[in-house]
């Protein structure tokens, strides 16, 4: 739709909870095929941005996806447009089996053959999920739950994945594995908007990044530029 | 011995009606963590639909049952939309008060239209079979078989269909469900439709088995079915069925072997003891706290 390949465009976005402004007049774009990361400390407003994009919370400002204004579209319909949100804490349905979690994510799809192929693809990416298919989601380890959450996003056949802190609570080995898979998914054609406190790894895989502080963007640049920025080094990369 | 089996049959009949009603309480609780205290009165409305359809439209049994279920299901969905949905984020106690208010509204609305008890005409020819010393009425068999059939269908819907999957997902965490592309409102409406529709079916079956109906008939039956749902484990569909049959059995057997005035007293004592032993009900499990 847009000539320059912009998939998601966020303009002058503000989000308030009661009287507290969590996101303050933020604008950024995500182009098709990119990994864009939003980094910042706890409470910088990163999750709120994702929640606004996926239609979970009210906001002011504009969000457009493939040129379409998302403002008055309900969250369950936004999924159908091609945006999958992997929420903070993963949001696995602990009373549903792994397989049911994956199938539920394909709720809006009618293409049975492609759904089956995507399920096979998820199981190829995450063989653990195949082994645990009949187990309840609540029985999985943190790492497996994160895999299931990403797997669900793939099952919705979204073009844009919103990932909220996929590294949270995982061991360094698992975090590297998850990031490797995010990169793999991206190379296979998915666009990724990645929110992270783990700035080091996310800047490594991101094409571009934005640094948030108390609801505002304070820095932006390519992953490499930000990794080299002294301010980022000091605040987010441990000096 | 024949007397025992005779009573067991009666227990199955009463229990299956309790179970049908208990399902409505448990389904709504499972999805909204709210007790729909108007549910007993929706059961009563089902009985009155049965009366209207059978007496004024002279419909036969099958269309009467189906239309009554449909009517009560629509009413249930409308009640949810108008009365409960605006309170979804309000404190639970407000929703409970509203539900009690809706129940009183239904009772008094029906009372205004029909101040006297009504007699349901026999919709079906009742045949009694004699097997040894046991006499089995076709009505009894119908009530039991139909109720069990509806419960099997419901069990299938909840555990084997996409809609059932969505219902279970909502009962776990309804804030995440929209992210799967599922409309929470639609699933809640569907749950109300099914739960209250089953209550409507119970109203029809009950009024065939005990054919005098009045606007207050839903109160006591509703309370008892609610207790069945709690005893089975509120929120658990199979638990509600088990709870219904337990209460049916206890009530009938107590009345069969003791003075009938002991019935409710013994029944409720047993249920209280059961809840002390299993506070979450027979199939209920303590919900893990979710942040």
Determine whether the interchain pair A87/B176 forms a contact, defined as Cβ–Cβ distance below 8 Å: yes
Among all residues of chain B, which has the CA nearest to that of A89? B291
Separation CA B250–CA B267 (nearest Å) = 6
- Distance from the Cα of A114 to chain B's closest Cα (Å) equals 17
Q: What percent of chain A has pLDDT over 90?
A: 87
Per-residue pLDDT, A239? 58
pLDDT mean by block of 10 residues, chain B; 291 residues:
86 95 95 93 97 95 97 98 94 92 97 92 88 88 95 95 96 95 97 97 95 95 94 92 94 87 86 88 69 36
Per-residue pLDDT, A218? 93
Per-residue pLDDT, A157? 94
Give SS3 for A5: coil
Encoding tokens for residue B215?
A: 């606007």
Separation CA B211–CA B47 (nearest Å) = 9
Inter-chain contacts counted by CB atoms under 8 A, chains A and B:
68
Give SS3 for A166: coil
Domain of B98 in residue numbering reads as 2-218
Separation CA A15–CA A20 (nearest Å) = 9
Encoding tokens for residue A237?
A: 């990369």
Per-residue pLDDT, B274? 87
Determine whether the interchain pair A96/B172 forms a contact, defined as Cβ–Cβ distance below 8 Å: yes
Reference A198, options A45, A44, A37, A48; nearest CA is A37
Per-residue pLDDT, A4? 62
Residue B265 lies in a domain: no
Lowest-confidence pick of A106-115, A199-208, A218-227, B263-272: B263-272
Per-residue pLDDT, A2? 44
Which helix H or strand E contains A185, and what residues bound it?
helix A172-187
Give the one of B169, B183, B291 whose C-beta lies nearest to A93's C-beta: B169
Per-residue model confidence as pLDDT tens digits over A115-167? 999 999 999 999 999 999 999 999 999 999 999 999 999 999 999 999 999 99
Report whether pLDDT(A3) > 70: no
B219: left (phi over 0), alpha (psi -120 to 50) or beta: alpha
- Distance from the Cα of B30 to chain A's closest Cα (Å) equals 12
A 10 A CB-CB count for B125 gives 7
Per-residue pLDDT, B290? 41
Give the one of B173, B181, B291 whose C-beta lies nearest to A76's C-beta: B181
Give the one of A80, A91, A107 whose C-beta lies nearest to B162's C-beta: A107
For chain A, the domain total comes to 1
Determine whether the interchain pair A96/B169 forms a contact, defined as Cβ–Cβ distance below 8 Å: yes
- Distance from the Cα of A239 to chain B's closest Cα (Å) equals 33
Reference B275, options B244, B229, B238, B237; nearest CA is B229
Per-residue model confidence as pLDDT tens digits over A177-203? 999 999 999 999 999 999 998 898 999
Separation CA B291–CA B284 (nearest Å) = 21
What is the sign, positive or negative, of the torsion defined by CA atoms of A214, A216, A218, A223?
Answer: positive
Per-residue pLDDT, B253? 86
- Distance from the Cα of B236 to chain A's closest Cα (Å) equals 12
Distance of CA B152 to CAs B1, B85, B149, B242, Å? 30, 29, 5, 13
Residue B105 lies in a domain: yes
Question: What burial letters (b/e) apply to B93-109, b meaning 16+ CB within 10 Å?
Answer: eebeebbeebbeebbee
Give the one of A75, A96, A103 whose C-beta lies nearest to B179's C-beta: A75
Residue B277 lies in a domain: no
Domain of A205 in residue numbering reads as 6-236
Residue B80 lies in a domain: yes
Average pLDDT for residues A54-83, to the nearest whole number?
A: 96
Output Rg (C-alpha) for chain B, integer angstroms. Answer: 19
A 10 A CB-CB count for A114 gives 13
Q: A219 φ, ψ to 5°?
A: -150, 150
Determine whether the interchain pair A84/B179 forms a contact, defined as Cβ–Cβ distance below 8 Å: yes
Residue A1 lies in a domain: no
Residue B261 lies in a domain: no
Residue B233 lies in a domain: no
- Distance from the Cα of A113 to chain B's closest Cα (Å) equals 17
Which helix H or strand E contains A81, and what residues bound it?
helix A75-81
For chain B, the domain total comes to 1
CATH number at residue A169: 3.40.50.300
Separation CA A191–CA A37 (nearest Å) = 11
Determine whether the interchain pair B181/A80 forms a contact, defined as Cβ–Cβ distance below 8 Å: yes
3-state SS, one letter per residue, for chain B: CHHHHHHHHHHHHHHHHHHHHHHHHHHHHHHHCCCCCCHHHHHHHHHHHHHHHHHCCCCCHHHHHHHHHHHHHHHHHHHHHHHHHHHCCCCHHHHHHHHHHHHHHHHHHHHHHCCCCEECCCCCCCCEEEECCEEEEHHHHHHHHHHHHHHHHHHHHHHHCHHHHHHHHHHHCCCCHHHHCCCHHHHHHHHHHHHHHHHHHHHHHHHHHCCEECCCHHHHHHHHHHHHHHHHCCCCHHHHHHHHHHHHHHHHHHHHHCCHHHHHHHHHHHHHHHHHHCCCCCCCCCCCCCC
């Amino acid at each position: 739709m847009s000539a320059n390949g912009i998939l998601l465009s966020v303009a002058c976005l503000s989000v308030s909870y009661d009287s507290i402004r969590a996101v303050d007049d933020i604008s950024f774009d995500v182009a098709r095929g990119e990994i864009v990361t939003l980094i910042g400390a706890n409470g910088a407003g990163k999750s709120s941005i994702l929640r606004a994009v996926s239609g979970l919370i009210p906001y002011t400002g504009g969000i457009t996806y493939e040129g379409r204004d998302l403002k008055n579209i309900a969250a369950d319909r936004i999924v159908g447009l091609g945006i999958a949100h992997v929420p903070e804490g993963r949001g696995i349905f602990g009373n549903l089996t792994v397989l049911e979690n994956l199938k539920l994510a394909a709720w809006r799809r009618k293409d049975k053959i492609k759904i089956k192929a995507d399920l096979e693809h998820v199981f190829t990416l995450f063989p653990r999920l195949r082994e645990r298919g009949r187990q309840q989601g609540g029985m999985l380890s943190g790492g497996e739950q994160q895999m299931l959450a990403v797997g669900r996003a793939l099952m919705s056949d979204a073009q844009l994945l919103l990932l909220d802190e996929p590294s949270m609570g995982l061991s360094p080995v698992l975090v590297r594995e998850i990031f490797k898979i995010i990169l793999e998914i991206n190379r296979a054609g998915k666009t990724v908007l990645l929110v992270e406190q783990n700035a080091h790894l996310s800047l490594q895989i991101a094409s571009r990044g934005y640094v948030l502080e108390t609801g505002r963007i304070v820095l932006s640049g390519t992953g490499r530029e930000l990794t080299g920025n002294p301010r980022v080094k000091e605040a987010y990369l441990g000096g | 011995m024949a007397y025992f089996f005779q009573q067991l049959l009666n227990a199955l009949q009463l229990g299956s009606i309790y179970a049908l009603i208990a399902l409505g309480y448990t389904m709504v609780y499972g999805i909204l963590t709210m007790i729909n205290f108007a549910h007993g009165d929706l059961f009563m409305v089902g009985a009155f639909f049965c009366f209207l359809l059978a007496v004024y439209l002279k419909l036969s049994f099958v269309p009467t049952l189906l239309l009554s279920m449909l009517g009560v299901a629509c009413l249930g969905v409308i009640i949810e939309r108008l009365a409960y949905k605006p309170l979804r984020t309000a404190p639970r106690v407000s929703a409970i008060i509203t539900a009690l208010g809706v129940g009183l509204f239904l009772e008094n609305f029906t009372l205004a239209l029909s101040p006297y008890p009504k007699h349901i005409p026999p919709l079906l020819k009742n045949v009694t079979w004699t097997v040894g010393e046991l006499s089995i009425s076709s009505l009894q068999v119908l009530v039991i078989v139909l109720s069990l059939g509806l419960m099997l269908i419901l069990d299938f819907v909840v555990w084997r269909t996409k809609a059932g999957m969505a219902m279970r997902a909502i009962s776990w965490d309804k804030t995440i469900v929209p992210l799967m592309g599922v409309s929470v409102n639609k699933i809640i409406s569907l749950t109300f439709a099914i739960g209250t529709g089953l209550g409507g079916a119970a109203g029809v079956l009950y009024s065939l088995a005990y054919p005098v109906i009045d606007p207050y008939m839903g109160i006591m039956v509703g309370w008892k079915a609610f207790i069945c749902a709690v005893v089975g484990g509120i929120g658990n569909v199979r638990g509600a069925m088990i709870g219904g049959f337990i209460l049916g059995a206890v009530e009938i057997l107590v009345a069969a072997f003791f003075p009938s005035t002991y019935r409710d007293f013994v029944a409720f004592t047993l249920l209280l003891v059961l809840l002390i032993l299993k506070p979450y009900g027979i199939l209920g499990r303590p919900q893990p706290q979710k942040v």
